Structure 1
Amino acid sequence: MNGEKWTLLFDGASNALGHGIGAVLITPENQLIPFTARLGFNCTNNVAEHEACAMGILAALEFKAKVLEVYGNSALVVHQLRDEWETRDSKLIPYHSYIKNLIEQFEEITFHHIPREENQLADALATLSSMFKISQGKDVPLIRIQNRGQPAYCKAIEEEPDGKPWFYDIKCYLKDREYPPGASENDKKTLRRLAMSFFLDGEVLYKRNHDMVLLRCVDAKEAMEIMIRDP
Protein backbone atom coordinates (compact mmCIF):
# COMPACT_ATOMS: atom_id res chain seq x y z
CA MET A 1 0.00 0.00 0.00
CA ASN A 2 2.85 2.37 0.77
CA GLY A 3 3.87 2.34 -2.89
CA GLU A 4 0.41 3.50 -4.00
CA LYS A 5 -0.14 7.10 -5.00
CA TRP A 6 -1.14 9.69 -2.42
CA THR A 7 -2.23 13.25 -3.28
CA LEU A 8 -1.61 16.49 -1.43
CA LEU A 9 -3.34 19.85 -1.87
CA PHE A 10 -1.94 22.86 -0.02
CA ASP A 11 -2.58 26.60 0.32
CA GLY A 12 -1.61 29.52 2.54
CA ALA A 13 -3.60 32.60 3.50
CA SER A 14 -2.20 35.91 4.66
CA ASN A 15 -4.63 38.74 5.34
CA ALA A 16 -5.51 41.50 7.81
CA LEU A 17 -6.87 38.96 10.30
CA GLY A 18 -3.74 36.81 10.41
CA HIS A 19 -1.91 34.02 8.66
CA GLY A 20 -3.20 30.48 8.18
CA ILE A 21 -2.25 27.37 6.26
CA GLY A 22 -4.29 24.44 5.00
CA ALA A 23 -3.56 21.09 3.43
CA VAL A 24 -5.62 18.11 2.33
CA LEU A 25 -4.02 14.68 2.09
CA ILE A 26 -5.86 12.17 -0.09
CA THR A 27 -5.18 8.49 0.48
CA PRO A 28 -5.01 5.86 -2.30
CA GLU A 29 -8.55 4.90 -1.26
CA ASN A 30 -9.64 8.51 -1.92
CA GLN A 31 -10.13 9.35 1.77
CA LEU A 32 -9.65 13.07 2.51
CA ILE A 33 -7.58 14.03 5.57
CA PRO A 34 -7.61 17.81 6.28
CA PHE A 35 -4.90 19.73 8.17
CA THR A 36 -4.87 23.38 9.17
CA ALA A 37 -2.85 25.69 11.40
CA ARG A 38 -2.62 29.36 12.32
CA LEU A 39 0.81 30.91 12.00
CA GLY A 40 1.71 32.86 15.12
CA PHE A 41 4.28 35.08 13.42
CA ASN A 42 4.20 37.78 10.78
CA CYS A 43 4.94 36.50 7.31
CA THR A 44 4.31 37.10 3.64
CA ASN A 45 1.88 35.11 1.56
CA ASN A 46 4.79 33.26 -0.08
CA VAL A 47 6.07 32.19 3.34
CA ALA A 48 2.57 30.96 4.26
CA GLU A 49 2.46 28.94 1.03
CA HIS A 50 5.78 27.27 1.88
CA GLU A 51 4.58 26.56 5.42
CA ALA A 52 1.44 24.90 4.04
CA CYS A 53 3.46 22.81 1.62
CA ALA A 54 5.85 21.69 4.35
CA MET A 55 2.98 20.80 6.71
CA GLY A 56 1.32 18.66 4.07
CA ILE A 57 4.52 16.85 3.07
CA LEU A 58 5.31 16.10 6.72
CA ALA A 59 1.81 14.68 7.16
CA ALA A 60 2.33 12.44 4.12
CA LEU A 61 5.58 11.15 5.62
CA GLU A 62 3.84 10.45 8.93
CA PHE A 63 1.35 8.29 7.02
CA LYS A 64 4.35 6.53 5.42
CA ALA A 65 3.42 7.58 1.88
CA LYS A 66 6.14 6.84 -0.66
CA VAL A 67 4.55 8.13 -3.87
CA LEU A 68 3.07 11.63 -3.64
CA GLU A 69 1.55 14.10 -6.09
CA VAL A 70 1.55 17.65 -4.72
CA TYR A 71 -0.83 20.33 -6.00
CA GLY A 72 -0.85 24.02 -5.11
CA ASN A 73 -2.06 27.28 -6.62
CA SER A 74 1.22 29.06 -5.83
CA ALA A 75 3.22 29.08 -9.05
CA LEU A 76 6.24 30.30 -7.12
CA VAL A 77 6.36 27.35 -4.73
CA VAL A 78 5.68 24.75 -7.42
CA HIS A 79 8.23 26.04 -9.96
CA GLN A 80 10.92 26.57 -7.34
CA LEU A 81 10.53 23.05 -5.94
CA ARG A 82 10.69 21.71 -9.48
CA ASP A 83 13.99 23.65 -9.84
CA GLU A 84 12.53 25.59 -12.75
CA TRP A 85 12.79 28.92 -10.95
CA GLU A 86 15.66 30.12 -8.81
CA THR A 87 14.96 30.85 -5.14
CA ARG A 88 16.31 34.35 -4.48
CA ASP A 89 14.23 35.66 -1.57
CA SER A 90 16.29 35.24 1.60
CA LYS A 91 13.13 34.41 3.56
CA LEU A 92 12.33 31.49 1.26
CA ILE A 93 15.79 29.94 0.88
CA PRO A 94 15.60 28.06 4.23
CA TYR A 95 12.17 26.72 3.28
CA HIS A 96 13.47 25.55 -0.07
CA SER A 97 16.33 23.63 1.56
CA TYR A 98 14.06 22.17 4.25
CA ILE A 99 11.41 20.90 1.83
CA LYS A 100 14.08 19.54 -0.52
CA ASN A 101 15.38 17.40 2.35
CA LEU A 102 11.87 16.10 2.98
CA ILE A 103 11.45 15.27 -0.70
CA GLU A 104 14.38 12.87 -0.57
CA GLN A 105 12.41 10.56 1.72
CA PHE A 106 9.91 9.71 -1.02
CA GLU A 107 10.34 7.13 -3.75
CA GLU A 108 8.54 9.48 -6.12
CA ILE A 109 7.15 12.99 -5.66
CA THR A 110 5.89 15.46 -8.25
CA PHE A 111 4.67 19.06 -8.00
CA HIS A 112 1.82 20.53 -10.03
CA HIS A 113 0.36 24.03 -10.32
CA ILE A 114 -3.44 24.35 -10.33
CA PRO A 115 -5.79 27.37 -10.43
CA ARG A 116 -7.15 28.62 -7.10
CA GLU A 117 -10.69 27.58 -8.04
CA GLU A 118 -9.49 23.96 -8.18
CA ASN A 119 -7.96 24.24 -4.72
CA GLN A 120 -10.97 25.47 -2.78
CA LEU A 121 -10.83 23.05 0.15
CA ALA A 122 -7.21 23.80 1.08
CA ASP A 123 -7.89 27.50 0.52
CA ALA A 124 -10.92 27.39 2.83
CA LEU A 125 -8.92 25.65 5.56
CA ALA A 126 -6.14 28.24 5.34
CA THR A 127 -8.58 31.16 5.40
CA LEU A 128 -10.51 29.68 8.32
CA SER A 129 -7.41 29.18 10.46
CA SER A 130 -6.22 32.72 9.70
CA MET A 131 -9.41 34.09 11.27
CA PHE A 132 -8.99 32.45 14.71
CA LYS A 133 -6.86 34.12 17.34
CA ILE A 134 -5.20 31.35 19.35
CA SER A 135 -3.22 32.24 22.47
CA GLN A 136 -0.20 30.20 23.43
CA GLY A 137 -1.19 27.34 25.74
CA LYS A 138 -4.90 27.72 24.99
CA ASP A 139 -7.05 24.98 23.55
CA VAL A 140 -7.43 25.03 19.79
CA PRO A 141 -11.07 25.61 18.76
CA LEU A 142 -12.75 22.39 17.66
CA ILE A 143 -14.96 22.57 14.59
CA ARG A 144 -17.22 19.58 14.06
CA ILE A 145 -18.93 19.12 10.69
CA GLN A 146 -22.26 17.34 11.00
CA ASN A 147 -24.20 15.70 8.19
CA ARG A 148 -27.80 16.86 8.21
CA GLY A 149 -29.98 15.17 5.64
CA GLN A 150 -33.14 17.18 6.24
CA PRO A 151 -34.16 20.78 6.97
CA ALA A 152 -34.10 21.91 10.60
CA TYR A 153 -37.86 22.58 10.66
CA CYS A 154 -38.53 18.86 10.12
CA LYS A 155 -37.65 18.38 13.80
CA ALA A 156 -40.36 20.82 14.93
CA ILE A 157 -43.36 18.52 14.69
CA GLU A 158 -46.24 19.11 17.05
CA GLU A 159 -49.36 17.08 17.69
CA GLU A 160 -52.51 18.57 16.17
CA PRO A 161 -54.66 20.01 18.99
CA ASP A 162 -57.93 18.61 17.57
CA GLY A 163 -56.48 15.19 16.78
CA LYS A 164 -56.76 15.79 13.04
CA PRO A 165 -53.71 15.97 10.74
CA TRP A 166 -52.56 19.37 9.51
CA PHE A 167 -53.77 18.58 5.99
CA TYR A 168 -57.28 17.44 7.01
CA ASP A 169 -59.13 20.46 5.59
CA ILE A 170 -57.21 20.32 2.31
CA LYS A 171 -57.93 16.61 1.94
CA CYS A 172 -61.65 17.06 2.65
CA TYR A 173 -61.89 19.86 0.09
CA LEU A 174 -60.16 17.82 -2.64
CA LYS A 175 -62.23 14.72 -1.85
CA ASP A 176 -65.73 16.16 -1.35
CA ARG A 177 -65.33 19.90 -2.03
CA GLU A 178 -66.27 20.51 1.60
CA TYR A 179 -65.20 23.53 3.65
CA PRO A 180 -64.57 23.49 7.40
CA PRO A 181 -67.64 24.39 9.49
CA GLY A 182 -67.90 28.13 10.03
CA ALA A 183 -65.30 28.96 7.37
CA SER A 184 -65.47 32.55 6.14
CA GLU A 185 -65.30 33.51 2.49
CA ASN A 186 -61.68 34.49 2.97
CA ASP A 187 -60.92 31.10 4.61
CA LYS A 188 -62.55 29.31 1.69
CA LYS A 189 -60.54 31.34 -0.82
CA THR A 190 -57.31 30.52 1.05
CA LEU A 191 -58.19 26.81 1.16
CA ARG A 192 -58.90 26.71 -2.56
CA ARG A 193 -55.55 28.36 -3.27
CA LEU A 194 -53.67 25.94 -1.01
CA ALA A 195 -55.42 22.93 -2.52
CA MET A 196 -54.01 23.76 -5.96
CA SER A 197 -50.59 22.56 -4.73
CA PHE A 198 -51.89 19.16 -3.55
CA PHE A 199 -52.96 15.94 -5.26
CA LEU A 200 -55.25 13.27 -3.81
CA ASP A 201 -54.76 9.63 -4.84
CA GLY A 202 -57.44 7.55 -3.13
CA GLU A 203 -56.89 8.25 0.57
CA VAL A 204 -53.28 9.41 0.18
CA LEU A 205 -52.58 13.12 -0.14
CA TYR A 206 -49.48 14.42 -1.92
CA LYS A 207 -47.98 17.88 -2.20
CA ARG A 208 -46.37 19.06 -5.41
CA ASN A 209 -43.02 20.75 -4.79
CA HIS A 210 -41.39 23.30 -7.10
CA ASP A 211 -40.08 20.65 -9.55
CA MET A 212 -43.44 18.83 -9.57
CA VAL A 213 -42.24 15.90 -7.46
CA LEU A 214 -45.07 14.53 -5.30
CA LEU A 215 -44.37 14.47 -1.54
CA ARG A 216 -46.61 12.29 0.61
CA CYS A 217 -48.36 14.15 3.43
CA VAL A 218 -48.15 12.51 6.84
CA ASP A 219 -49.39 13.42 10.32
CA ALA A 220 -47.18 14.12 13.33
CA LYS A 221 -47.24 10.54 14.64
CA GLU A 222 -46.28 9.01 11.31
CA ALA A 223 -43.58 11.66 10.78
CA MET A 224 -41.99 10.80 14.13
CA GLU A 225 -42.08 7.09 13.28
CA ILE A 226 -40.31 7.79 10.00
CA MET A 227 -37.60 9.89 11.69
CA ILE A 228 -36.99 7.19 14.29
CA ARG A 229 -36.85 4.47 11.64
CA ASP A 230 -34.77 6.47 9.13
CA PRO A 231 -32.80 9.11 11.10
Structure 2
Amino acid sequence: MLVELGVQFVEILGDSMLVLKQIAGEYKCLSPSLVVYLVAARNLLAEFREATWEHVPREENLVANEIAQIATGVQMPEDSVQRIIKVGKKSLPSVMTRGMEIDVNSAMMSEGD
Protein backbone atom coordinates (compact mmCIF):
# COMPACT_ATOMS: atom_id res chain seq x y z
CA MET A 1 0.00 0.00 0.00
CA LEU A 2 2.84 2.39 0.83
CA VAL A 3 4.49 1.71 -2.52
CA GLU A 4 1.22 2.44 -4.32
CA LEU A 5 0.93 5.72 -2.41
CA GLY A 6 4.42 6.72 -3.55
CA VAL A 7 5.94 6.80 -0.07
CA GLN A 8 9.73 7.12 -0.31
CA PHE A 9 10.77 6.92 3.34
CA VAL A 10 9.51 4.26 5.75
CA GLU A 11 10.23 3.50 9.39
CA ILE A 12 9.43 -0.01 10.53
CA LEU A 13 8.79 -0.75 14.18
CA GLY A 14 8.93 -4.45 15.01
CA ASP A 15 8.64 -6.49 18.18
CA SER A 16 10.63 -9.45 16.84
CA MET A 17 14.37 -8.87 17.08
CA LEU A 18 14.89 -12.12 15.15
CA VAL A 19 12.86 -10.91 12.16
CA LEU A 20 14.54 -7.50 12.16
CA LYS A 21 18.00 -9.11 12.23
CA GLN A 22 16.99 -11.44 9.37
CA ILE A 23 15.81 -8.50 7.27
CA ALA A 24 19.10 -6.70 7.99
CA GLY A 25 21.00 -9.81 6.87
CA GLU A 26 22.63 -10.26 10.28
CA TYR A 27 20.84 -13.55 10.95
CA LYS A 28 19.96 -16.30 8.52
CA CYS A 29 16.48 -17.70 8.05
CA LEU A 30 16.45 -21.43 8.74
CA SER A 31 12.82 -22.09 7.88
CA PRO A 32 12.07 -22.85 4.21
CA SER A 33 8.45 -21.82 4.73
CA LEU A 34 9.43 -18.43 6.21
CA VAL A 35 12.22 -17.52 3.79
CA VAL A 36 9.55 -16.62 1.22
CA TYR A 37 8.33 -13.87 3.55
CA LEU A 38 11.89 -12.66 4.12
CA VAL A 39 12.46 -12.36 0.37
CA ALA A 40 9.12 -10.56 -0.03
CA ALA A 41 10.04 -8.11 2.76
CA ARG A 42 13.45 -7.39 1.24
CA ASN A 43 11.91 -6.92 -2.21
CA LEU A 44 9.42 -4.43 -0.78
CA LEU A 45 12.14 -2.55 1.09
CA ALA A 46 13.98 -2.07 -2.20
CA GLU A 47 10.99 -0.02 -3.42
CA PHE A 48 11.71 2.77 -0.92
CA ARG A 49 14.42 5.41 -1.11
CA GLU A 50 15.12 4.88 2.57
CA ALA A 51 13.90 2.31 5.06
CA THR A 52 14.85 2.07 8.70
CA TRP A 53 13.73 -0.34 11.37
CA GLU A 54 13.72 -0.33 15.13
CA HIS A 55 12.99 -2.97 17.74
CA VAL A 56 10.13 -2.08 20.08
CA PRO A 57 9.48 -4.62 22.84
CA ARG A 58 5.97 -6.05 22.67
CA GLU A 59 5.06 -4.74 26.12
CA GLU A 60 5.93 -1.21 24.95
CA ASN A 61 3.91 -1.53 21.75
CA LEU A 62 0.42 -2.18 23.07
CA VAL A 63 -1.37 -0.26 20.30
CA ALA A 64 0.20 -2.40 17.57
CA ASN A 65 -0.61 -5.54 19.52
CA GLU A 66 -4.25 -4.50 19.86
CA ILE A 67 -4.45 -3.74 16.13
CA ALA A 68 -3.00 -7.17 15.37
CA GLN A 69 -5.59 -8.80 17.61
CA ILE A 70 -8.38 -6.92 15.84
CA ALA A 71 -6.95 -7.88 12.44
CA THR A 72 -7.28 -11.57 13.26
CA GLY A 73 -11.02 -11.09 13.38
CA VAL A 74 -11.28 -13.43 16.34
CA GLN A 75 -13.87 -12.06 18.72
CA MET A 76 -15.45 -13.69 21.70
CA PRO A 77 -19.10 -12.94 22.41
CA GLU A 78 -19.44 -11.45 25.88
CA ASP A 79 -21.69 -14.30 27.10
CA SER A 80 -19.34 -17.00 25.77
CA VAL A 81 -16.74 -18.78 27.90
CA GLN A 82 -15.19 -20.74 25.06
CA ARG A 83 -15.01 -20.76 21.29
CA ILE A 84 -13.75 -23.38 18.87
CA ILE A 85 -11.35 -21.97 16.30
CA LYS A 86 -10.32 -24.05 13.31
CA VAL A 87 -6.60 -23.86 12.65
CA GLY A 88 -5.12 -25.02 9.37
CA LYS A 89 -1.87 -24.86 7.49
CA LYS A 90 -1.67 -23.18 4.11
CA SER A 91 0.09 -25.03 1.35
CA LEU A 92 1.45 -21.77 -0.12
CA PRO A 93 2.68 -18.69 1.73
CA SER A 94 0.08 -15.92 1.55
CA VAL A 95 2.38 -13.65 -0.47
CA MET A 96 2.29 -16.22 -3.26
CA THR A 97 -1.47 -16.63 -3.21
CA ARG A 98 -1.71 -12.84 -3.63
CA GLY A 99 0.17 -13.04 -6.92
CA MET A 100 3.60 -11.84 -5.74
CA GLU A 101 6.41 -13.52 -7.61
CA ILE A 102 9.13 -14.57 -5.20
CA ASP A 103 12.41 -16.07 -6.39
CA VAL A 104 14.03 -17.86 -3.47
CA ASN A 105 17.42 -19.43 -3.94
CA SER A 106 19.39 -21.62 -1.58
CA ALA A 107 21.74 -18.74 -0.74
CA MET A 108 18.92 -17.00 1.13
CA MET A 109 18.77 -19.90 3.55
CA SER A 110 22.45 -19.60 4.46
CA GLU A 111 22.96 -15.82 4.24
CA GLY A 112 24.54 -14.29 7.31
CA ASP A 113 27.00 -17.11 8.00
Q: 2:23 aligns with which of 76, 81, 99?
A: 81
Q: 1:71 aligns with which of 13, 23, 32?
A: 13
Aligned to 2:80: none
Partner-residue secondary structure (3-state), 1:105: coil
Aligned to 1:91: 33
The alignment status of 1:119 with 2:50, answered yes or no, reads no
**What TM-score, normalized by structure 2, do the two folds share?**
0.60
What's the RMSD between the two structures over aligned residues? Answer: 1.6
In structure 1, what residue type is equivalent to 2:67? L
Larger relative contact order (Cα-Cα within 8 Å, sequence gap ≥ 6): 2
Aligned pairs (5 A) from 1:133-152: none
Aligned to 1:100: 42
The CA distance in 2 between the partners of 1:117 and 1:65, in whole Å, is 29
Contact persistence 1:68–1:106 (CA under 8 A): yes
Instruction: Output one character per residue of 1:142-172: Cα deviation in whole Å (capped at 9) or x when no partner.
Output: xxxxxxxxxxxxxxxxxxxxxxxxxxxxxxx
Instruction: Output one character per residue of 1:78-123: Cα deviation in whole Å (capped at 9) or x when no partner.
Output: 1110111111111111111111111111101012111112221111
Aligned to 2:79: none
The CA distance in 2 between the partners of 1:86 and 1:92, in whole Å, is 11
State how many pairs are aligned. Answer: 75
Aligned to 1:176: none
Where structure 1 has 5 or more consecutive residues not aligned to the other structure, the ranges are 1-58, 134-231
In structure 2, what residue type is equivalent to 1:61? V
Where structure 2 has 5 or more consecutive residues not aligned to the other structure, the ranges are 76-84, 86-113
Largest Rg, 1 or 2? 1
**Percent identity between the two aligned chains:** 31
Aligned to 2:71: 129
The CA distance in 1 between the partners of 2:19 and 2:53, in whole Å, is 9
The CA distance in 2 between the partners of 1:91 and 1:100, in whole Å, is 16
- Structure 1 runs of 4+ with >6 Å offset: none
